[in-house]
Amino acid sequence: MALTVIEGSWDEIQQRAAELQGRRLRVIVLPESETHPTGTLYEFLGDFVGCIAGSAEPLAEQSEQAVENLIAATYRSQGLDV
């Protein structure tokens, strides 16, 4: 059986009480000071944006090939014949 993760406020979780009735649960109380990132996706990704060498705005096919090359290089560095 796969684990199910339910996250939300106590009130949101209580709304699912019927679904959880009779089940074993583990409750982890998160700190209230937990903050979620704000701003745009570009700001959140920061230095990771544009880290693949190529044209300024690669086409989907170019991006796919660049990712394939990165994966292959990673496996080659581990001694695998790719």
> b/e map of 46-78 (b: 16 or more CB within 10 Å)?
eeeeeeeeeeeeeeeeeeeeeeeeeeeeeeeee
Count CA within 13 A, CB hemisphere, residue 63: 8
Q: What is the pLDDT of residue 37?
A: 65
Percent of the chain with pLDDT over 90: 18
pLDDT in tens, 11-35: 999 999 999 999 999 988 887 765 6
pTM exceeding 0.85: no
CA-CA distance, 74 to 82, in Å (whole number)? Answer: 10
